[in-house]
Amino acid sequence: MTASAVPAEPPGQQPEPGLRADAERNRERILAAARRLYATDGLGVSMASVAREAGVGKATLSRRFATREELITAVFADRMDAYATAVTEALADPDPWHGFARYIEAICAMQAADRGFAEVLTMTFPAAKALEESRAASYHGVVELIARAQGSGHLREDFTHQDLVILLMANAGVIAATGDAAPDSWHRLVGQLLRAFATPGTDAPPLPDAPAPTALYRAMVRLTRPGTQTP
């Protein structure tokens, strides 16, 4: 049989199992590396840094995730699901104000646990359709949550969904600024903001303790001298 007579590979034939397994392992290594880097350093991490952390070449990374948006969507898919779940659980609370306060505390805690996610909640990614669709679906629940809390008379009437975005931006800023020098500072911020959002006479959650002066000083040193390890 001549070379020209060799049967062609059937259309749509799947890669060999070994190749599929290698590709899946590389994908998981990339995702794990990106999660680590985004969680500690934020979304400014380069794709090249992710490839190095994962121990793969840039070409391998590009085959799995052609764009930064694709990688971000894959990394934070589970966290966006948790974000949506937080809205659903808050709406199910029979006490609208308690549900609202619990929701604020929950999403701010998600931000504190992952610096990358803190940024995801305060940025838009037009090219990341799945991520933006998930955000849009949660938005409608948040609007309803705000309306219920205001209807109960416990949330100020002038509070809007834009204020929630500002809150998340402020929380992300505090998290980035304090880092491991004063990591619990965000609790105090959220406690103070909930008191500001509540109508007079409303029972607000207990106010967390303020961070120690020495901890805030260390955080201020970090901001003045990026990369400095304070005692």
- Domain membership of residue 202 (yes or no) is yes
Among 98, 122, 97, 99, smallest CA distance to 110 is for: 122
Task: List the domain range (segments joined by +) for residue 151.
Answer: 77-224
Question: CB–CB of 86/107 below 8 Å?
Answer: yes
- Domain membership of residue 184 (yes or no) is yes
Residue keyed to tokens 């969904």: 161
The CATH number of the domain where 57 resides is what? 1.10.10.60
Residues in the chain: 231
Residue 104 has pLDDT above 80, yes or no: yes
- What secondary structure does DSSP assign to 107-162, as a single string? HHHHHHH-HHHHHHTT---TT-HHHHHHHHHHHHHHHHHHHHHHHTT-B-TT--HH
How much is the pLDDT for 18?
Answer: 54
The total number of structural domains that make up the chain: 2
How much is the pLDDT for 125?
Answer: 83
- pTM to 2 decimal places: 0.79
> Which pLDDT tens digit goes with each residue over 38-90?
998 889 999 999 999 999 999 999 999 999 999 999 999 888 889 999 999 99
Instruction: Examine the domain organization and report whether 56 and 126 are in the same domain.
Output: no
Instruction: Examine the domain organization and report whether 199 and 117 are in the same domain.
Output: yes
- Specify the higher pLDDT residue, 113 or 9: 113
How much is the pLDDT for 19?
Answer: 55
Instruction: Examine the domain organization and report whether 63 and 88 are in the same domain.
Output: no
Question: CB–CB of 64/47 below 8 Å?
Answer: no
